[in-house]
């Protein structure tokens, strides 16, 4: 009997020595706190510890994404008097524990890369919520999640709508390390398995210019004549850049929208298209007189990106640089003139007082 106790003591000592610690407490202790303590303060303390332990804690946390309470414990809990239920070791619902693990892994971001093998396995989980969480965390990990690309591509092909969208976003977040997924993303966009507004940012992040999307995005803009401008389509055209030049007429029309929060991103997108969008110079010059400062600022930025093609806008930009009420607008106008003339432009001697940016 003494020998058995000695062996158990040695085993316990060895486990404790191999378990990483934070603030004098082991990883196992913090995982147990996460799983058993309902209080907010206790949870936040455990969360802080596990985030700090990062690389060593991530795999253990990932296994909790599909945590299920042992069936025996569930049965015991169901048949115990209410007064005794809190004596059980696990007092939190399994869904609560899973949600806590997801929140902490999400906060870890790239430091959760040691959990990649577990997360790849969980992408195939029978539980929908677990699959979505695993997909999202792989994206938050970023480029080092390259080994998860095949699993994400599989989900892109066979997952639900929500899973396909999440997989596309995560592939984009992984970046050029996921470049081999470009054909699958293009195919998913073409067959409408994912939205074009999801596909374009992902493809651009993978280093691919999705010119195939331009006609679809133009159609979306044209379809919004009597409704709010689809800002996601506008942003996508801007991301595509110069190859989106065929969309310039549709963007010029959108620049006349009555909603100022739509006009600003439209102006910015025209700038992202660059010199090939030179037919927008008159419309952007008129936008320099917009009642809202952020529209004027974005119009000035766009004109600067059109370079020498926007030479006709210099007088209007000069008026802005000297007399606009908003400092950001004045700065944007100065920088635009420098880009158009391809040489620095000195700040005007008279600068109007700067109001709150909330002013028009």
Say yes or no to pLDDT of 10 above 90: no
* pLDDT at residue number 260: 87
* pLDDT at residue number 73: 62
Number of continuous H segments (helices) and E segments (strands) in the chain:
20, 2
Burial of residue 66 (CB within 10 Å: 0-12, 13-18, 19+) is buried
Tokens of 36: 């058993």
Helix (H, G, I), strand (E, B) or coil at 169: helix
* pLDDT at residue number 239: 97
Considering only CA atoms, which of 346, 260, 252, 333 is closest in space to residue 297? 333
Judge contact between 101 and 61, C-beta under 8 A.
yes
Higher pLDDT, 104 or 4: 104
Say yes or no to pLDDT of 15 above 50: no
Say yes or no to pLDDT of 349 above 90: no
DSSP for residue 22: E
* pLDDT at residue number 225: 64
* pLDDT at residue number 258: 87
What are residue 21's DSSP bridge partners? 26
pLDDT tens, 122-134?
999 999 999 999 9
Q: For the beta carbon of residue 348, count every other beta carbon within 10 angstroms.
A: 15
* pLDDT at residue number 355: 42
Q: What number is the average pLDDT over the span 57-65?
A: 94
Judge contact between 172 and 202, C-beta under 8 A.
yes
* pLDDT at residue number 68: 84
Say yes or no to pLDDT of 281 above 60: yes
Q: CA separation (Å) from 217 to 29, 37, 297?
A: 53, 50, 25
Say yes or no to pLDDT of 16 above 70: no
Contacts for 122-129: CB closer than 8 Å, 24+ residues apart: 122/62, 122/65, 122/66, 123/148, 123/151, 123/152, 123/154, 123/155, 124/151, 125/65, 125/66, 127/66, 128/160, 128/163, 129/98
pLDDT tens, 131-177?
999 999 999 999 999 999 999 999 999 999 999 999 999 999 999 99
Q: What is the Cα 106 distance to its own chain's centre? A: 12
User: What distance in Å separates the CA atoms of residue 264 and residue 254, rounded to the nearest whole number?
Assistant: 10
Q: For the beta carbon of residue 322, count every other beta carbon within 10 angstroms.
A: 16
- Reported as a pLDDT band with limits 50, 70 and 90, residue 88 is low
Q: What number is the average pLDDT over the span 78-83?
A: 66
pTM of structure:
0.82
* pLDDT at residue number 1: 47
């Amino acid at each position: 009997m003494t020998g058995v106790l000695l062996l158990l003591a040695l085993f316990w000592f060895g486990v404790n020595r191999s378990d990483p610690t934070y603030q004098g407490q082991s990883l196992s202790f913090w995982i147990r706190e996460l799983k058993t303590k309902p209080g907010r303060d206790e949870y936040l303390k455990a969360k802080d510890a596990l985030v700090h332990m990062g690389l060593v804690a991530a795999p253990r946390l990932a296994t909790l994404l599909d945590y299920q309470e042992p069936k025996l414990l569930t049965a015991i809990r169901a048949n115990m008097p209410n007064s005794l239920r809190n004596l059980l070791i696990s007092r939190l619902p399994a869904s609560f524990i899973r949600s806590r693990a997801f929140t902490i892994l999400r906060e870890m971001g790239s430091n959760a890369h040691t959990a990649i093998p577990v997360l790849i396995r969980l992408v195939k989980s029978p539980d929908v919520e677990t699959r979505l969480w695993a997909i999202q965390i792989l994206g938050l990990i970023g480029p080092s999640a390259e080994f998860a690309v095949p699993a994400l591509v599989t989900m892109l092909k066979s997952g639900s709508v929500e899973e396909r969208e999440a997989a596309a976003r995560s592939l984009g977040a992984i970046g050029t390390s996921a470049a081999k997924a470009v054909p699958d993303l293009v195919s998913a966009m073409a067959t409408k398995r994912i939205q074009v507004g999801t596909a374009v940012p992902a493809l651009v992040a993978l280093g691919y210019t999705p010119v195939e999307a331009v006609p679809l995005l133009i159609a979306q803009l044209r379809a919004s004549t009597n409704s709010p401008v689809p800002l996601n389509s506008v942003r996508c055209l801007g991301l595509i850049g110069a190859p989106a030049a065929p969309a310039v007429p549709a963007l010029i029309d959108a620049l006349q929208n009555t909603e100022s929060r739509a006009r600003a991103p439209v102006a910015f997108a025209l700038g992202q298209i660059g010199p090939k969008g030179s037919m927008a110079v008159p419309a952007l010059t008129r936008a320099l007189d917009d009642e809202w400062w952020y529209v004027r600022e974005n119009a000035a930025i766009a004109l600067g990106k059109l370079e020498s093609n926007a030479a006709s806008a210099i007088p209007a930009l000069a008026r802005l640089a000297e007399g606009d009420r908003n400092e950001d607008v004045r700065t944007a106008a100065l920088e635009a003139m420098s880009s158009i003339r391809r040489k620095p432009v000195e700040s005007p001697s008279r600068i109007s007082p700067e109001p709150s940016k909330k002013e028009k």
